[in-house]
Structure 1
Amino acid sequence: MYILIDNYDSFTHIIKHYLNSNKVDVEVYRNDELKAIDVINKKPTGIVISPGPKTPDDAGISIELIKRASKKIPILGICLGHQSIAQAYGGKIIRAKNIMHGKISNIFHNKKSLFKNMPQNFKATRYHSLIVEKESLPKNIVISSESSEGYIMSIEISKAKAYGLQFHPESYDTELGQRIVSNFIKICER
């Protein structure tokens, strides 16, 4: 069973559909519906933290859940979830120079984890005005992909099971978004 934390995003149902299409059961909870310990006690195989409005500080239990669970339970954070992972592990979230709402970027990645067996330079859709500041990253945060402009598009936490995507794999215009979600499930089921 997987748990999807909904940060009041209008497309959480698409993420749930992507997970369900991999033949896994998913329980969805709003970010203020449970405590972090309640999620952990459910013993999920994996946790997904959805996109949503505002900042990681406004994402309910997201940061606490990441801090408490990511060494034991794999976590995938998408957009706000990605920013929450970065902040939970010491990164700084800043305003982007350009607002990216519905913009498509080419993604260049490290061919590992979420990007295993994926081609370089695939297109992904971005919906954000905040980014993870590259200069603020501690050594435990590994950049696993960037946009062609050099913005961080995904991270992994070394010595934890946390993976963040700034772009939206669930967006219609993101190439191979379903494969990224499938790769996360493979990580969870090892």
Structure 2
Amino acid sequence: MKKLLVADSYDSFTYNLIQLIEQHGAYTYTIVKTDQIHLEEVSHFDKILLTPGPGLPQESGILLDLIQQYAATKSILGVCLGHQAIAEAFGAKLVQLPQVLHGLTQHMTLTPAGTKTTLFAHLPATLNIGLYHSWVVQSESLPEGFVITGELQQINSTLPHFNQANIVHTPLVMALAHRSLDIHGIQFHPESIMTEFGKDILYNWLDS
């Protein structure tokens, strides 16, 4: 069986992702905290899943170093913090939102590049996604090697604490991919019940 490394940044959502991986059944997986692994231990894995987590990428052990060392040779998917870490590892910047987007369901639109990527194969061009974050990748800072594959064109919420006027960075980057390397990032949570086709997205990556 193929081997999957789950690089865990101490997030409660990690085991929801693990449940989906177990249901898929084609991988043996190893869960290791990002501050409890050495880079050389990663070499024998086929794929690397970078989990969500609190804080910023530079606060999560060897997360950035892991991406930089194995980007050219491993298939990597980053979720939420993992997505942000991929962008930062390649030189992009993060922007803190004026208002946190925690527990929101929003509509993501696939870009033309997104409709062609294997990650979103056989999925509709617009789908609901579950958000739990307060930082986003600054789109204009992405290096030329990356394409944006999913965007949030606007944010709609009827929650009483939510101030629409505070969100000034739309469209927001919700998914990205490297043009030539097998690297994908998604800002949203595929394991969340708020995300449509979350299992399909994860399985598209596992099957690729």
TM-score (ref. length: structure 2): 0.86
- Is the Cα contact below 8 Å between 1:71 and 1:159 reproduced in 2? no
How far 1:160 sits from its partner (Å)? 1.6
Indicate yes or no: 2:177 matched with 1:177: no
CA distance in 2, matches of 1:157, 1:37: 23
How many residues are treated as equivalent by the alignment?
185
From 33, 38, 41, give the equivalent of 2:36: 33
Indicate yes or no: 2:74 matched with 1:73: yes
Percent identity, aligned pairs only, is: 32
How far 1:4 sits from its partner (Å)? 0.3
From 8, 12, 19, give the equivalent of 1:10: 12
- The C-alpha deviation readout for 1:79-119, integer Å capped at 9, x for no partner, is 00000000001110110233100111111112222101101
- The C-alpha deviation readout for 1:139-187, integer Å capped at 9, x for no partner, is 1121011012211001111222111000000111111000000000122
CA distance in 2, matches of 1:147, 1:33: 35
Residue 24 of structure 2 aligns to a residue whose secondary structure is coil
Residue equivalent to 2:93: 92
Letter in 2 for 1:162: I
CA distance in 2, matches of 1:27, 1:12: 12
Indicate yes or no: 2:112 matched with 1:107: no
Indicate yes or no: 2:177 matched with 1:156: yes
- Bigger Cα Rg: 2
For structure 2, list consecutive stretches of 5 or more residues without a partner in the other structure: 155-170
Residue 106 of structure 2 aligns to a residue whose secondary structure is strand
- The C-alpha deviation readout for 1:117-148, integer Å capped at 9, x for no partner, is 10121100000000000111111121011012
Residue equivalent to 1:168: 189
Deviant stretches of 4+, over 2 Å: none
How far 1:38 sits from its partner (Å)? 1.2
Residue equivalent to 2:165: none
Residue equivalent to 1:129: 134
For structure 1, list consecutive stretches of 5 or more residues without a partner in the other structure: none
Letter in 2 for 1:6: D
